[in-house]
């Protein structure tokens, strides 16, 4: 009913700016992206509509449609999606999570400059977790985006043309079209005190916290959805390495970061000493 | 912190809507109502497992004494403080119903 009040249940801010919020209006679920559009759906996801705001930036509408809108509707159908970028080599993928501005897209784009590396995702990674195969060792991810959205300094550093101050989409060579096995999830952290990039394993609650903070959820007040997510995250955490990469904000650290991350594609049993 | 009236012969039960899994040697506890995850360290995990097995506080302390070098009184105090915190977070409750206790 159009006159019903919206109850906002969660919001995401970057600095002081509201970038997204999730709410309910009666039985409908709402996701609002201020200045860009509003997604409305019912719980069964049998009815869903993304309505761009009049005068919204076309590129922003396209980006949200290809990433967050798809991820939110996947969540309604029981799917697990993380806010992450990912790249692949052969049949293996590595994903990068972290807050907005932590360098997920830059890392993916920089890796894709290597001849053997393909883009799997720029903003959201979609897990393929079949309910009846929870005991299997691998978790797969499906390709979700074929473009990386980069800030001007990252664009120029990686040799692309670009100006202005906003992120712009860049088509990368060879976006993958097939499901890949996820080897590792890397939390990206900027650390002004880091003399050089370092990578370490996260265990237990620390690993779980990183995964949980990256989940894209449309239904956030349903215990059954919470329980399902718990099982899904347990499976992900058991099946692939969860790590943290600390580096300075300098793009000059990118080469060393890529060298560290590059090892993750080839070995499931990386020793702690190899990571540092 | 709540001020619980709890003694060594009391039993604690895990609240409905709380789910937990052992992962990498740590217990991850999910409160399905609030949607919050909690991590338990080695000792916390030991206590959580013992609660799940239906042990009384004194039985929990006895099992901890076999694994940790501390006096019974110290361990009992630590266990009570820990359970106090779990009760406050609504993850467990004291089982006052004698009929409902494990045989």
Give the tens place of pLDDT for each residue, B61-103.
999 999 888 999 999 999 999 999 999 999 999 987 655 555 5
The more confidently predicted of residues B4 and B95 is B95
Q: What is the ipTM of this complex?
A: 0.70
Tokens linked to A43: 């719980």
Length of chain B: 103
Task: Determine contact, residues A139/A80, Cβ cutoff 8 Å.
Answer: no
Cα separation, B45 vs A189, in Å, equals: 29
Whether the Cβ atoms of residue A93 and residue A120 lie closer than 8 Å to each other: yes
CA distance B21 to chain A (A): 8
DSSP 8-state code for residue A215: B
* Predicted local confidence at residue A172, as pLDDT: 74
> pLDDT (tens digit, 9 = 90+) per residue, A102-125?
999 999 988 988 888 888 999 999
Tokens of A158: 């990686």
State pLDDT tens for residues B8-17: 888 899 998 8
Distances (CA, A) of A118 to A66, A92, A132: 18, 10, 30
Residue A105 and residue A146 in contact, taking contact as beta carbons nearer than 8 Å: no
Q: Which residues of chain B does A207 touch, with a Cβ-Cβ cutoff of 8 Å? A: 23-24
For every residue of B41-95, DSSP letters joined together read -HHHHHHHHHHHTT-BHHHHHHHHHTTS---HHHHHHHHHHHHHHHHHTTSEEEE
Residues with Cβ within 8 Å of A116's Cβ and at least 6 positions away in sequence, in order, are: A89, A90
Positions in chain A whose pLDDT score sits under 50 = 1, 133-134, 268-274, 276
Query: Per the structure block, which two tokens stand in for B14?
Result: 């895990």
Nearest to B23 among A220, A221, A234 (CB): A234
DSSP A195-239: SS-EEEE--HHHHHHHHHTTB--S--S-HHHHHHHHHHHHHHHHH
Beta bridge partners of B39: B28
Backbone CA torsion sign across A36, A71, A152, A100: positive
| Contacts with B23 from chain A: Cβ below 8 Å | 204, 207-208, 234, 237-238
Q: Do B30 and A205 touch (CB under 8 A)?
A: no
Helix (H), strand (E) at residue A104: helix A104-112
User: What pLDDT, on the 0 to 100 scale, is given for residue A276?
Assistant: 45
Q: Do A207 and B32 touch (CB under 8 A)?
A: no
Say how far apart CA A241 and CA B8 lie, in whole Å. 41
Query: How far apart are the C-alpha atoms of A195 and B56, rounded to whole Å?
Result: 51
Query: What residues of B are in contact with residue A209 (Cβ under 8 Å)?
Result: 37, 39
Angle at alpha carbon of residue A93, lines to A166 and B36, rounded to 5°: 75
List pLDDT tens digits, range A163-188. 777 788 888 766 777 889 999 999 99
CA separation for the pair B87, B15 (Å, rounded) = 9
Distance CA A191, CA A34 (A): 30
Which strands, in side-by-side order, build the sheet including A37-42? A7-14, A17-25, A28-33, A37-42, A48-52
Residues with Cβ within 8 Å of residue A249, at least 6 apart in sequence = A190, A192
Is the Cα torsion angle A235, A117, A248, A158 positive or negative in sign? negative
- Interchain pair B21, A234: CB under 8 A: yes
Q: Which domains does chain B have, with CATH numbers?
A: 11-95 (3.90.930.60)
């Amino acid at each position: 009913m159009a006159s019903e009040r919206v109850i906002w249940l969660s919001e995401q801010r970057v600095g002081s700016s509201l970038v997204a919020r999730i709410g309910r209006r009666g039985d409908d679920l709402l996701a609002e992206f201020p200045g860009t559009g509003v997604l409305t759906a019912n719980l069964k996801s049998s009815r869903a509509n993304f309505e761009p705001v009049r005068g919204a930036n076309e590129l922003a509408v396209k980006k949200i449609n290809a990433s967050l809108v798809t991820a939110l509707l996947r969540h309604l159908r029981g799917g697990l999606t993380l806010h992450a970028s990912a790249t692949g080599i052969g049949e293996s993928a590595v994903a990068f999570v972290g807050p907005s501005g932590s360098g997920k897209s830059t890392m993916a784009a920089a890796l894709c400059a290597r001849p053997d590396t393909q883009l799997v995702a720029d903003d959201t990674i979609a897990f393929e977790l079949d309910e009846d195969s929870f005991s299997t060792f691998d978790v797969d991810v499906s390709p979700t985006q074929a473009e990386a959205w980069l800030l001007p300094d990252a664009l120029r550093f990686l040799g692309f043309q670009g100006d202005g101050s906003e992120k712009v989409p860049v088509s990368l060579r060879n976006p993958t079209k097939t499901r890949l096995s996820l080897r590792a999830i890397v939390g990206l952290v900027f650390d002004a005190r880091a003399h050089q990039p370092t990578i370490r394993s996260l265990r237990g609650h620390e690993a779980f916290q990183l995964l949980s903070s990256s989940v894209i959820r449309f239904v956030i007040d349903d215990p059954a959805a919470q329980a399902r997510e718990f099982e899904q995250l347990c499976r992900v955490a058991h099946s692939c390495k969860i790590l943290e990469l600390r580096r300075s904000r300098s793009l000059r650290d990118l080469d060393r970061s890529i060298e560290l991350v590059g090892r993750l594609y080839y070995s499931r049993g990386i020793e702690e000493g190899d990571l540092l | 912190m709540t001020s619980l009236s709890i003694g060594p012969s009391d039993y604690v039960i895990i609240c409905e809507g709380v789910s937990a899994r052992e992962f990498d040697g740590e217990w991850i506890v999910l409160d399905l109502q609030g949607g919050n995850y909690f991590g338990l360290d080695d000792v916390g995990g030991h206590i959580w497992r013992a609660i799940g097995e239906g042990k009384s506080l004194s039985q929990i302390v006895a099992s901890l004494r076999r694994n940790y070098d501390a006096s019974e009184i110290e361990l009992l105090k630590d266990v009570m403080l820990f359970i106090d915190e779990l009760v406050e977070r609504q993850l467990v409750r004291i089982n006052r119903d004698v009929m409902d206790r494990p045989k």
